[in-house]
Amino acid sequence: MDTATATATQRRVPRPRADALRNRERIVGAAREMFVEHGSDVPLDEIARRAGVGNATVYRHFADRAELVRQVVLAVTDRVADHAEEGIAAADSGESTAFDALRAFVHAAADERIGALCPMLSAGFDPYHPDLLEGRERLEGAIAGLMDRARAAGQLRTDIAVGDLMIALSQLSRPLPGTACVNVDRFVHRHLQLFLDGLMTPARSELPGEAATLEDLRRH
């Protein structure tokens, strides 16, 4: 019986009320904006105000500040992963060359403010948290797939790995500290473009160190 099933379900994970869900979304959205605009250490009360809820409501949805940050990271991770998968599709369908797809992805990720989230890895943030696991793996897998295709097409130098791209991409698109991240874009896309040029074959120099793999990101 439907009702019974529903009841049973609710008992385990009671379905959130519609307004609660809406609040949750608004909080994550407000946090993302404020992190980008004012850095990751904005007071939670400010986020609550921007979201139009009381401060305690934030705690009803997120156990503590760290969890809120994590959820914001996760949201952005998902959106960036979407872009990477779209890039793969474009490459596979022949809509664009693999390297062009990679280029497009890199610029799209910057526009999604992937770099703005970097500060959230700030002191006390645990990048190995289970909540982030799935999202990260999907993102990394997609980026790896994109790079594989570009490498297979002979366009991407072979001495770099997915970690190299992710770190450099994040760093180059991080907002300059103390800025509202507004006109930084003027530069960011230039620098990403230059970096991408450096990724092309033939390699123009020998790289020091070893390719940064997924595992390396884990071990800092």
Q: Which SS3 state, helix, strand or coil, does residue 200 take?
A: strand
How far apart (Å, rounded) are the C-alpha atoms in residues 48 and 26?
Answer: 9
- In the complex, the smallest distance separating the C-beta of residue 13 from DNA, rounded to whole angstroms, is 11
In the set 2, 19, 206, 215, which binds DNA (CB under 7 A)? 19
- In the complex, the smallest distance separating the C-beta of residue 116 from DNA, rounded to whole angstroms, is 17
Provide the mask over 38-67, with x wherever binding to DNA is found by CB under 7 A and - wherever it is not: ---xxxxxx-----xxxxxx-xxx-xxxx-
How far apart (Å, rounded) are the C-alpha atoms in residues 168 and 71?
Answer: 23
86, 92, 97, 101: CA torsion to nearest 10: 20
Comparison of 1 and 202: residue with beta carbon closer to a copy of itself: 202
Does the protein bind a copy of itself through residue 41 (CB under 8 A)? Answer: yes
- Find the part of the chain contacting a copy of itself (CB under 8 A) among 20-28, 55-63, 142-150, 173-181: 173-181
How is residue 77 written in tokens? Answer: 């991770």
Beta carbons within 10 angstroms of residue 136's beta carbon: 21
Does the protein bind DNA through residue 131 (CB under 7 A)? Answer: no
Q: What is the 3-state secondary structure (H, E, C) of 60-116?
A: HHCCCHHHHHHHHHHHHHHHHHHHHHHHHHHHHCCCCCHHHHHHHHHHHHHHCCHHH
136 binds, options DNA, a copy of itself, none, Cβ within 5 to 8 A by partner type: none
Q: Which residues of this protein are in contact with a copy of itself, per CB under 8 A?
A: 38-41, 103, 118-125, 160, 163-164, 167-168, 171-172, 174, 176-180, 182-184, 186-187, 189-191, 193-200, 203-212, 216, 219-220
